[in-house]
A and B are shown apart, each in its own frame.
Chain A
Amino acid sequence: MSVLAVAGGQLLADSVISFDLGALARNFWALTIDGLTYGAIYALVAVGYTLVYGVLRLINFAHSEIFMLGMFGQYATLMLLGFGPSGNAYSEGTMMTIVYLGIAMLGGMAVAGGAAVGLERVAYRPLRKRGAPSLVFLITAIGASFVIQEFVHFVLPKLTGGTLGGVNAQQPIRLVQASDVISFANTSISNIEIVIVVSALTLAFAADVFINRTKFGRGIRAVAQDPVTATLMGVSRERIIMLTFLIGGILAGAAALLYTLRVPSGILYSGGFILGIKAFCAAVLGGIGNLRGALLGGLLLGVMELYGQALFGTEWRDVVAFVLLILVLMFRPTGILGESLGRARA
């Protein structure tokens, strides 16, 4: 116990929840860096929620499952490349490791992007044609979420002879061995953390450029603002919607690879659920429908979660996340940056 921990108090008489400022102070930078790593992953997944919400006003509850499929996608790609479950990290040389990771990420992106578009086609489009109310969309999303999870849980192992899916997590394939690159004041930054943060920020930046600078991005923003007018102006709404799902899926697939770098044993049928909820929280925190908000919300949530964990104890991680969400919404009902896909809501 440090001196600071003595300053930390007890909230309830019989030490039901106590907090330890010392732990937070000691590890502040390490927690921040770790938090940014997770936050970057949350942010990438959150973009998928935010884009779909911006265009369709739909909470794509099944997006977490898209992310989960992305994890399996990159895993399968690595297996196709000849990697098997390994106890230790492969040493393929820096250049080749990066190439393999890149291919795996493409694999994850392809699976997740394809699944997202497929989900849109099979589940949401028929509803849109019938003009169903938004609750129906949400419930369908929940249904799709069940189906995808259970598919990976039960059906996928049968299709792949037990290689993929099932009740246990995939045995990790480790391409990169974590090693500290930069160290300062009781804190070190590992190569994996750098790769995750840099890749995620690069992708988020690319997505931002895509939405704000390209023709397709303009289409997305146009449909988000005013679907009717956009349609009249010759923007194909259906195509834009598909594109939106595709981008969301691709980013989720990329996030999936980054996540498995950090948590190699997270590749599990139920492995996307909590992360998806967190990412959705991140999107709402930042202001849902707002691309930069998703980024901000993700990073903020990732960091706050770890601070909270250090402060109150590891078991309070999710509570911290949800309480933060509720508090932010109470004071800023449309999130920190407000909701918009390039505009202010009336």
Chain B
Amino acid sequence: MSTETTSTVAHLGIGDRFRLWWDALARPTQWAVGVPFIVLIALLPIIKPPVLTTVGTDFAGVLAQFGMYALLAIGLNVVVGQAGLLDLGYVGFYAIGAYTVGLLTSPDSPWNQTDSWLSQKWAWLFALPIAIAITAISGLILGSPTLRLRGDYLAIVTLGFGEIVRLLADNLTTITGGGRGLSRIAYPIVGVSESRPTGYFSAGNNQAPITSGVAWFWLSIVLIIVVLLVVGNLQRSRVGRAWVAIREDEDAAEIMGVPTFKFKLWAFLIGASIGGLSGALYAGQVQFVIPTTFNIINSTLFLVAVVLGGQGNKLGVILGAFVIVYLPNFFLGRTELFGIPINGNEIANYKYLFFGLALIVLLIFRPQGLFPARQKLLAYGREVYVAARRAALALTRPTSDETTGGSR
């Protein structure tokens, strides 16, 4: 069956093909396949599969970083992939999220609250929603004057915004510590025990199997699932359709009754809050923020993740984020691969060269990204699409030639 499908539906992207298959499964089957799959992913840093496990860096730590980048990619995808607004300064929101947590909970900060009303134990968790709210507000502040600008202007303005955020963090030394950064940022203190005196999430927790990296990876998986549900619900609603309509033809969308400015602002705001969430995770995991982490090059790297994965495709961009984070780490410190001696550090060193080349080649041959998929924009109507698929299968059978009468 699968071979027949591929032969006639040759233009279907990998992502589409996967979704056709997925949609056709019954709900219980979906659960039966999906849950173990996620559990398997979550257990990766504990199983440490050979070859896959990174050599020079902690596999769990890499996966934790992947989790944060995946969130960033999902958030940026809302803005770029769904609403078609080119944001080159997304790293600014990441920074604002991280710095909000840092400013509220680092002893280096003049606004440190952990001594007063915030208990050290729950400080991170309290700071999290505040970080999200503040990034959302900053998205609003950036968006309301600039979203009336045309696409190319928006690109440079957002790029400027990203730089301004970093430079503020760098220059306002009395508040942010400037280049010295903010250290000893709070993290959730959970599961304190003899062997883990500071709990699971502390950077100092290196007690296998659940090391700090594993704990943060799991936390980010949970957050990714929540964010995917939220973004998915939005996508399959009036909001998501408005975004795609704006992306496709903003004027036509406006004339079809879409309040384009309002929904562009929403896209910006939602993208910003997800970026802020990821930033807050970063601050908690690394417990240290400095401005250089939020260089503009990271913005372009996030964009690369979105484009690699296939813009608009939520799961695709997660894979894009994985590629961005994992590949350089895969080579780092590796001296041989499948028995062939390689200089992994050298290869890792060239990561931007490879990313650049890969982007150019990919965009020439697969401009839709590695895993393109068309978004689903309807909350209901699955049956219509399943019927279409049935009809497609009917078409592929050589015997049923009389397709004109429908597929009955």
Q: A residues near B, CB below 8 A? A: 14-17, 53, 57, 59, 122-123, 126-127, 130, 132-136, 138-140, 142-151, 153-155, 277, 280-281, 284, 288, 313, 315-316, 318-319, 321-323, 325-326, 329-330, 333-334
Query: In chain B, residues 134-183, which have Cβ atoms closer than 8 Å to a Cβ of chain A?
Result: 145-146, 148-153, 155-157, 159-161, 163-164, 167-168, 170-172, 174-175
Chain A residues in 8 Å Cβ range of B157: 325-326, 329
Q: Is the CB of B303 within 8 A of A142?
A: yes
B353 and A134: CB pair below 8 A? no
| Among candidates A17, A143, A322, residue contacting B355 with C-beta atoms closer than 8 Å | A143
Contact A154/B350 with A144-B356, A326-B146 known, Cβ cut-off 8 Å: yes
- Closest chain B residue to A129, Cβ basis: B364
Q: Is the pair A280, B156 in contact by a Cβ cutoff of 8 Å?
A: yes
- Complex alpha-carbon distance, A276 and B385, angstroms: 48
* B window 93-124: CB within 8 A of A: 110
Q: B367 contacts which of A127, A142, A280 (Cβ < 8 Å)?
A: A127
Check if B148 sits within 8 Å of A288, measured CB to CB: no
Residues of B within 8 A of A277 (CB): 159, 163, 296
Chain A residues near B167 (CB, 8 Å)? 315-316, 318-319
Check A123–B160 contact: CB distance below 8 A.
no
A123, B160: Cα distance in complex, Å? 26
Q: How far is the CA of A37 from the CA of B167 in the complex (A)?
A: 24
Given A147-B353, A329-B153, the answer on whether A140 and B359 have CB atoms closer than 8 Å is yes
A322 touches B356 (CB 8 A): no
B160, A127: Cβ atoms closer than 8 Å: no
Contact check: which of B155, B311, B353 meets A151 at CB < 8 Å? B353
The range of chain B's interface size is 35 or more
User: Is A146 a contact of B80 with CB atoms below 8 Å?
Assistant: no
Roughly how many angstroms separate A259 CA and B231 CA in the complex, as a whole number?
A: 47
Q: A57-B152, A132-B367, A280-B156 are in contact. Are A146 and B163 (CB under 8 A)?
A: no
Q: B residues bordering A, Cβ < 8 Å?
A: 80, 84, 86, 110, 145-146, 148-153, 155-157, 159-161, 163-164, 167-168, 170-172, 174-175, 296, 300, 303-304, 307, 311, 349-350, 352-353, 355-360, 363-364, 367
Report the nearest B residue to A312, measured CB to CB: B171
**Min distance, Cβ A294 to any Cβ of chain B, angstroms:** 14
- Minimum CB distance partner of A134 in chain B: B151
For A329, the chain B residues whose CB sits under 8 A away are 146, 149, 153, 157
Q: Could you say which of A138, A319, A333 contacts B168, with CB atoms under 8 Å apart?
A: A319
CA of A114 to CA of B160 in the docked complex: distance in angstroms? 30
CB contact between A139 and one of B84, B163, B363 (< 8 Å): that residue: B363
Contact check, A322 vs B160: say whether CB atoms are below 8 A apart.
Answer: yes
Cβ–Cβ < 8 Å partners of B150 in chain A? 333
Q: Assess whether B352 is in contact with A149, with CB atoms less than 8 Å apart.
A: yes
| C-alpha gap A135/B359 in the complex (Å) | 13
Q: Across the A-B interface, give the 3 residue pairs with the lowest CB-CB distance, nearest first.
A: A146-B356, A143-B359, A322-B160
| Sample (27) of A-B pairs whose CB atoms are under 8 Å apart | A53-B152, A59-B155, A130-B364, A133-B367, A135-B307, A139-B303, A142-B356, A143-B360, A146-B300, A147-B353, A149-B352, A150-B352, A151-B353, A154-B350, A154-B353, A155-B353, A281-B156, A281-B160, A288-B153, A315-B171, A316-B167, A316-B171, A318-B163, A319-B171, A326-B157, A333-B149, A333-B153
